[in-house]
Every structure is written in C-alpha cells, then in structure tokens.
A and B are shown apart, each in its own frame.
Chain A
Amino acid sequence: MSFFSVENLTKKFGGLVANNNISMDVEKGEIRGVIGPNGAGKTTFFNLVSGFYRPTSGKVTFKGQTISGMATNKIARLGAVRTFQRPALFSDFTVLENVSIAQHLNTNASLLNAIIGHDNHREADSLERAIEIVDFLGMAEDRDTMANNLSHGLQRQLGVAMALATEPELLMLDEPVAGMNSGEKAVMVNMIQKIRDKWGVTVLLVEHDMRTVMNLCEKITVLDFGEKLAEGSPDDIRSNRAVIEAYLGADDSVT
C-alpha cells in the first residue's frame, strides 16, 4: 500500500461536482504537483484530504490508516498537515510565537502544567527547535516581528513554517508562491526542496505557477472540472494534448 492514497474521491456541492472520482497514489519522499485551471477542484481536494470537508464518497488512506471522515486535528496529529491558499497566521503573535503555538502537539501542554507553571514557550527544547525552523526558512531577522506586520511573501513563508513545526510527514501546500515576486518564489522553491531533502517530508503541492511545479515535482497530477485529467512526469504533462487544451481553454498556458 502507498504512503498516501486516494480512491475514487468525490465531493458534490448540491448539483456541482467539485471533485469527481479522483484516485492517486503518492510515495514517501515524493514531491507531487497537483495542477489545474481555476476552479478545477484543487483546494476542494485539499479540504477533503485534510478533513475540512467530508467526502460524498471515496476513501483516503495515510500510512495505511483511513483518514477520510476524520477531524482535521486528528489528521494533523497523524502527520498530514495542510497550508492555506490565503495567508493564514495568528496575527497578534510574533513569528516565533506563531511557530511555537504550532509546536504544541509535541509538548506537554496541559491544564495542570499550565497552572503549576511547567508549560510555557521558554522550554529550552521546543524554543530551540522553533528557532531552528524559523532560521531554516530564512526568517531569522523577523523572529520577533508581529506576524501581521510581515510582507506578503514572509506571511506565506510563516504559514509553511507553522505547518513544519507540527513535524508532519505529509505537507500539503496550497499555492505557496501565489502573489510572490520572482525573488520570493525562488526562496520558496528552494525551501520546499530542502524540506523534502533535509527532513524527508512528503510534499503535495497545489500550484498555478508552472515553472515552480515543473522545477520541483517528480510527478504531476492534473485536475480539470473536478476530474483527474492526466498524471505523469513534467515532460509527459508538458506534451499532453488534453492538458494543453484544458489550459488553452482556460486562457492560460503550459510553458
């Protein structure tokens, strides 16, 4: 059985079929791209896999365990963590505090520990680890910046940092480079590569930016109108007629 596998996943919103009978298998350590025109159903797919939505039918398994229908926090606890297409962060906290909150799964946070004062962000271990993650993602200078004062690019980076702080095995990134300038994009691409290479995290990457996807992914799954249109290596996808037509139809192009 694959590390992460999706079988005949379907989601209907009333009459609209946002995901139709999607299947895929992802191996451990892979960086898998999921692409498709606007409204193809990519975010819906993430919402299903991460437990935000309940599938109409179909099944998702992760490390041999069925996770479809589970609560999001349980799926995160198992090690499958997603980021958001929008910048999502805890705006009243600093960068380091954001990461630190995201670490809570691996700490001894409990009511009793809170009351007796054995539970705070200054525990040496987790603080060290939080700093490591922040620095790793190239945000060392911004450790103590309030999250809502960060630039757009850094806010997206912080989103990835927080997901990483939960120590996931499967990281699902929803358009991590959306709205970034080319410099910021390069940083993010580099980061995703390192996340896989250094920490062995399997990555599912939803992205519109073709260069990013083609550079990073070993294998790409293409969605269109909620259905799986094609799957293969970047070269296969680049030359796939159906894919080219889907993108031309959507007034976009595969380059």
Chain B
Amino acid sequence: MSKSSFSTHLLVSSLVVIAFFVMAPNLVSAYRLELLTIFLINVILAQSYRLMATTGDWTLCHYILMGVGAYATGILAKMAGLPFYLVMPMACVVTMIVSLLFAIPLSRTLGFAFFIASFALGEFVRHVWLKFHYPFGGARGINGIPKLEIGQGGEWYFIDFWDSRNFYYFTLVFTILTLVILFRIDRSRLGDTWKSIYTDRELSESIGIDVTKSRIMVFCVSGFFAGLAGSLLAYQIGSIDPHNFGMVEMVYLIIWCVVGGVKTFWGPLIGVLSMSIIFELTRPLAEWRPALFGLILILFLVLLPGGLETLPARIRELLHRTGTQRGTG
C-alpha cells in the first residue's frame, strides 16, 4: 500500500470514528454512555502510558499517578471549592510534580529494577492516602466531589452536567486534545530521540542525547496526562478511594498495552477498545474475568508478543510465505 493511500484510509477511518463518538449520545443508552465516558478516560490513560513505554520504561505506578490527579481534583473541588477550570490544570500540574519526584530516583534504575521500584513508590503513595484521613479520607476516600459546573441555571452559557451527555462531550474534547498532542509528540524529532533510547541507550547517549533527562521528561509528560485522566474520573464518578487505583486496575492497563502493542500510536487504542468490548461481553461471567484476562495476557505474550498492531504485518508475511511456497512447489 502506498503511503498516501494509507493516510487517506487513516483519515477516512478517523472521521468515521469521530462521527460515531459525536453521535454516540443519540445512539446508546445513558448507562452505555457512562461506559463510553470511562472508555475515553481509559484511552487517555493508555495513551499516556504508551508514551513512557517508548523509552522502554514500563512502570507499575501509572494508576497511582492517575489517582494523584483524582485526589487533587477531589481536594481542590470539594475542600477548596475551586471551579473546574482551576482544578483541572492544577490537578495535572500536581501529578506532574509527583511524577518528577518519582522520576528522579527511578531514572537511576533500568528495566526490572525500574519496574519494581516504581511499584514501591506507588504503594508508598497509596499508603499515604490510606493513613492520612485529612485530607485524603483514609480507606473511605473522598465522597461528594461537586459536579463540574459551567455557568449557573439561567445564564446563557450554562451547561448542566447532571446530564451525562454533557460530561461525555466534555471528556471527548479532552480525549481528542490529548490524542492530538501525543500524536504530534510521537511524530516529532523529540519523539524519535525518545524512541531511540529504547533501541540503544548507549548509542543515544553517545550522539548527545541526555538519556536521564529525557526519561525524566517523558515520565513528567506522561504523568501530566495520567493526572488529566484522574481528574476527569473524579468528576465523573464523584467519589474516589484508594481501591479505585489498585494493582488490579494497573494490570488491566498493562493488558491493554500488551494486547494492542506500544510500538505504534494506534496500538494502545486498539488494545483499550478490544479489551473494553471483551470486558462488557463477559459481564455475566464476572467471577471468571480475572482468569480470562490473565489467559489473554499470557496468550498474547506467547503468541503475539508485539500485540494486535503487528497483526497486519504478520498476516502479510504469512501470505507472502505461502505465496512463494506455492510458486516453488
């Protein structure tokens, strides 16, 4: 396929996808719409996690960072009573600062040590949430986070967020923004230097790339968007507690990225989409879900290590091979 026809395909299919998401509130039930909102938040989360993976750093604390954004939102919106347009940027920045505090020691480690150390740091934060009733609410968390507000009843720009359709659109805007920004980073020179670190760290360093600084920077940018996902989640569900940001959720995030793949920008999107569909379809089998998802994870790691994104290339290769076999036989 030529490059230009591929990008036309891409454009057309993205337009179809966008059209679906814009029309969705008229197509699906209110319950499904809430699921769709959560799906969009998960897209932000998975895509920000993939950014980290471009340098080869897989963490076990991404859900905690999302939690930092959610807690910051809960505290700022409920206790400080700030409006969303202050709360959300502040929540993202707070998460970015926490990411920086994580990244400085973590950047001294690599691979498995990095993975495990990120888990330890994350658990530390979770303990802080559990131990400090003020302001984190301990095991009960923070309840009654005020709904997002734009204007008040009667004002011309008033938007009623008790109507879940409006919050859905609000989330959709932030999801698209995130995708556009992260896509641009992915295609940029900076994005390529980050990917080069994954391929050969020593070579990157030798051509003048500050590997440590780059890894810290990626961690912070990734954390910023995890914070955004957390902030949206806090507004969406209205109450948060430490269990929202546990290891099970983290494992789901990893499954999305393994199933979809992280090499291309589209991998995590495919991963979240396919796994969310399977998640919904298996609702009647809820007890078996952990086992099922564990099985899926293992199957992918063994049979399709690059994730679904590598499937087209594999099929092409397979067709090519059988084609040449037929030719010679």
Contacts and interface: CB of A to CB of B under 8 A. Distances in A.
Interface string B177-192: 0000100110111111
A166 B193 contact: no
B204 to A, nearest CB: 8
Contacts of B200: 88-90
B320 to A, nearest CB: 16
A101 B208 CA distance: 10
Contact of B202 (A84, A104, A117): A84
A144 to B, nearest CB: 11
Contact of B207 (A81, A92, A110): A81
Given A84-B203, A109-B190, A109-B193, A73 B208 contact: yes
Given A52-B202, A82-B206, A117-B184, A73 B217 contact: no
A156 B233 CA distance: 50
Interface in A98-149: 100-102, 104-105, 107, 109-111, 113-117, 119-121
A203 interface: no
Contact of B206 (A50, A104, A111): A50
A120 B183 CA distance: 12
A84 B204 CA distance: 12
A92 B199 contact: yes
Contacts of A77: 208
Interface in B267-320: none
Interface string A63-81: 0000000011110110001
A192 interface: no
A90 B184 contact: no
Given A92-B199, A115-B184, A101 B190 contact: no
A97 B192 contact: yes
A183 to B, nearest CB: 26
A166 B207 contact: yes
A43 to B, nearest CB: 12
Contact of A107 (B189, B199, B207): B189
B189 A109 contact: yes
A240 interface: no
Contacts of B87: none
Q: How large is the interface on B (under 10, 10 to 19, 20 to 34, 35 or more residues)?
A: 20 to 34
Interface string A193-236: 00000000000000000000000000000000000000000000
B195 interface: yes
A72 B201 CA distance: 11
A91 interface: yes
Contacts of B184: 114-117
Nearest to A79: B208
Interface in B160-199: 181, 184-185, 187-193, 195-196, 199
Contact of A104 (B208, B211, B263): B208
Contacts of B196: 90, 93, 101
Contact of A119 (B189, B202, B205, B210): B189
Contacts of A162: 203, 207
B188 A102 contact: no
Contacts of B210: 71, 73-74
A207 to B, nearest CB: 19
A163 interface: yes
Interface in B208-226: 208-212, 217, 221
Contact of B205 (A72, A97, A114, A115): A72
Contacts of B192: 93, 97, 100-101, 121
Nearest to B203: A88
A147 to B, nearest CB: 9
A137 B258 CA distance: 39
Contacts of B208: 73, 76-77, 81, 104-105, 166
B203 A111 contact: no
Contact of A89 (B191, B203, B217): B203
B199 A111 contact: no
A120 B188 contact: yes
Given A76-B208, A120-B188, A115 B203 contact: no
A96 to B, nearest CB: 12
A73 B205 contact: yes
Contacts of A73: 205, 208-211
B206 A81 contact: yes
Contacts of B221: 111
A165 B196 CA distance: 15
Interface string A46-66: 000010100000000000000
Contacts of B188: 109, 113-114, 117, 119-120
Contacts of A90: 195-196, 199-200, 203
Given A73-B210, A89-B200, A90-B200, A104 B205 contact: no
Contacts of A82: 206
A101 B193 contact: yes
What are the 10 A-B residue pairs with the smallest beta carbon separation, nearest first?
A114-B188, A76-B208, A109-B189, A72-B205, A88-B203, A114-B190, A102-B207, A90-B199, A119-B188, A73-B210
28 contacts: A50-B206, A52-B205, A71-B212, A72-B205, A72-B206, A76-B205, A83-B206, A88-B202, A88-B203, A89-B203, A90-B196, A91-B199, A92-B263, A93-B192, A93-B199, A101-B207, A104-B208, A105-B207, A105-B208, A109-B189, A111-B217, A113-B188, A114-B185, A114-B190, A115-B181, A116-B184, A119-B190, A163-B206
